[in-house]
Amino acid sequence: MVKTTNLEMASSCNPKQQLKVKVEEWLKWDRNPETSAAIRKLADENDTQELSKKLLNRLSFGTAGLRGIMAAGNSCMNDLVIIQTGQGFLKYLENHRGDILKKNGIVVGYDGRHNSRRWAELTATIFVNSGYQVRLFSEVNPTPCVPFMVRKHGCASGVMITASHNPKEDNGYKVYDSNSAQIISPSDKNIQKSILENLTPLDSSWNTDVLENNPLVIDPYEECLHSYLKEVIADQIHPDDIANNQRVNLPFVYTAMHGVGYKYVQNVADLVGVKIFPVMEQRDPNPDFPTVKFPNPEEGKSSLDLSIKHANETGCSVILANDPDADRFAVAEKNKTTGEWKIFNGNELGTLFGWWLLECHKKKHPDIPLDKVYMVASTVSSMILSTMAKAEGFHFLDTLTGFKWIGNKVLELEKEGFTVIFCFEEAIGFMCNNIIVDKDGISALATFSCLASSVYGNDQQLCDKLAEIYDKYGLHVSLNSYYFCYNPAKIAQIFDRIRNFSGKKTYPSEIINGKYKIVSVRDLTTGYDNSQPDNRATLPVSSSSEMITFVFDNGLHITLRTSGTEPKIKYYSELCMTPDVKDRAVVDATLMEMVTVICDDFFEPQKNGLIPQSG
């Protein structure tokens, strides 16, 4: 029987009474003096608008867990919300992973953000109080460590307290399933239901003293570091590549972006025989991220200014970067001729990784034929791996956006007897081996250092090798961006118009008076895909988000989608050419022409008040 939540009971009251109930409830339950005082102050000031915003809406548990601003109230990240989440998650695991939970417990890790350690300890406290073993990291750790330890010890789940590369005001609660991949539906919905059934905080949930010298609490930090270095790095990289690193002696500048990556990266660098020069101002965890506006290497030069300065001073041509929780990876390179710095986008890095890991597989595993090998990418990422697969004889598969889908698909393919050697998505997320079925910026850095040393050892730069790959397989040029739209109804109207563009239930069929024709449409909101025999999409469908992909007769793929966490309409485009097309300028111009027209015609940004990325 589903218990009625306090919010549901309050909803039958009038608005003022409803808010009064929620204020009293918060002040009764919350034992954190800062967040309790914040709600009390708003109540004393009778600020009903702010109280309603904070207390009448609740952070919803999704496939990425929870993520939001750190502040008082049900709609924010704070001690009480963490305790309620932990209590509900515990009950979910007891009901769905009970045997594994009793046998092997869970893993809990945390990054260097404000409150991360505190919330990891509160989470561990809830499980320890119920008699379950918790592997609780004693120091900050990279996010990939959590799924690594879940898989290594067969745990029921892993929880990582992190907001990845979000602004300093945010934090999050990320969950891995017993298979070590990120949770997918319906687990998220079941966890949310369980949270709402267990909102009343137990007295014991606040008392983290229970963790002190408790035999149920195991610190996995040193074991994880040593096992990771052996199993994820040393066992996966060919000795010849390590020897080549030492011979070429290519130095790298490294930034941890005020995050948790440095200790692992320095150990990895020593192991694979490369020299790194850390950006000292960004080397150690700092929850305020004082040197960057956005702690995200995907932002480009704005986040890599200090790295570029340091590289120019030390004479390094290549910068390697992690985001604050070290699950993403970025690269920049200085052109030896012009002196200009190029920051590679995720699709370009995916291309380089795809080439390199195919070569590594051939060298390391000649016994595994390519028809038993897969590479995987998300559907909004470059199609270069698909093109390479057709030319080389391995398999390619695309998934929905997010490593939760990629990781679970990898495990399915392994059960079917296939070997997955590389996965990526354009948002600089890379999985360079199948030990950790999630994006991992540390092992990506290790792999890329070998790749770069090989390229430089052959008297090339990374941009030269990228051009060589495109010359062989065909240019794949991408253009991705987004519009802000703060009106959900307007977003719904825009996508409804696209689905009824030239009559009821008719999608666009061409642009620029037939100059470019659309040959296929895949709508993962409605489940329509006219590239399939029965017009039914083979990828999972979600009616709660918008996502439509168009393929044109000249090789353009463009996906239009909404963001699950931000008020954005995003577009991801790529023009895929055959190897005989060599003029990059013409390809760039064609791509820009098509994307501009598609955005203008399909979105009608001026009419709908959309704000482009540049603002």
Return the active site residues.
Answer: 164
Amino acid at 589: A
The Cα–Cα gap between 279 and 267 comes to 16
Q: How far apart, in Å, are the Cα atoms of 486 and each of 169, 307, 405, 599, 611?
A: 21, 35, 28, 18, 9
Spell out the residues 6+ positions from residue 294 whose beta carbon is closer than 8 angstroms to its own. 165, 167, 302, 303
What's the angle, vertex CA 156, arms to CA 150 and CA 157, rounded to 5?
Answer: 60
Retrieve residue 493's tokens: 């109207």
**What single letter denotes the amino acid at residue 175?**
V
| CB-CB contact of 508 with 502 (8 Å) | yes
- Angle at alpha carbon of residue 100, lines to 94 and 104, rounded to 5°: 115
- CA 436, 437, 443, 449 torsion-angle sign: positive
- Please give the structure tokens belonging to residue 498: 């696209």
Q: Give Cβ neighbours of residue 312 (< 8 Å, ≥ 6 apart).
A: 334
- The one-character DSSP state at 70 is B
Q: What is the DSSP letter of 553?
A: T
> Which residues partner with 576 through β-bridges?
476
Nearest 5°: CA angle at 309, between 307 and 311?
65
Tokens standing for residue 299: 């932002």
